[in-house]
Copies of this chain bind each other. A is one copy, B any other.
C-alpha cells in the first residue's frame, strides 16, 4: 500500500517523526470499494474518518422535496467524515457514497482517539483541520447567500479541478443547489456565449 499521499497530507500541517508516522500508518485500514457503494448510510453511525487516496466520494442528504443534495465531494487527498456523527457516535444526518471506484484509508474512532492522546501534534492537526474547515464552510455559505448559480459553478471548478469531467451533470447540479434541467440551460447559454 502506498502511504506517501496521506503522509504528505498530514505533513503539510505538522511534523511527524518516523515513530509517529509508523504508528499513524499502523492504525490506518486501506479499503477499495466500487462506485455506488454506500459507505455510511443515513441514520447509521459514522464509525470511521476517511482519507481518499484515489477516486471520489460524495457526502449527501435528501431534502424535503426528495432530491439529493451534495454537501461536498472528497477526491484524492481529501479527508471526509460526518463530524457530528463521528465525534458523538450518533446517527448521521448525511450519507457518504462512492461516486467512482475508490481507494481510501479509514481510521476508526478508537484509533482516532488513540492518535489524539498519543501524538500531541495530532491534536494540532485535528484542531487545524476543523478551523480550516470552518473557514472554508463560511466561504461557501457566503457564496450561497450572494452568488448566482453561474458564479457558484465557477467556484466549483476552482475548488475541484477537473472533477467536472469525471462526474455527471446531475451530481454537479445537486452540489450547486439547482435542478439538472436548469443546469442544462446554463450550459447551453455558456456554450453560445463563448463561440
Contacts of A177 in B (CB 8 A): 144-146
Q: Number of A interface residues, CB 8 Å?
A: 26
Q: How many copies does the complex hold?
A: 2
CA distance A83 to B127 in the complex (A): 13
Interface class of chain A by DSSP: helix
CA distance A134 to B83 in the complex (A): 8
Of A16-24, A50-58, A63-71, A101-109, the one with at least 4 CB within 8 A of chain B: A63-71
A135 interfacial contact with B, CB 8 Å: yes
A77-121 near B? 1/0 per residue, CB < 8 Å: 000000110010000000000000000000000000000000000
Q: Which residues of A contact B (CB under 8 A)?
A: 61, 63-65, 69, 71, 83-84, 87, 123, 126-127, 130-131, 133-135, 137-138, 140-142, 144-146, 177
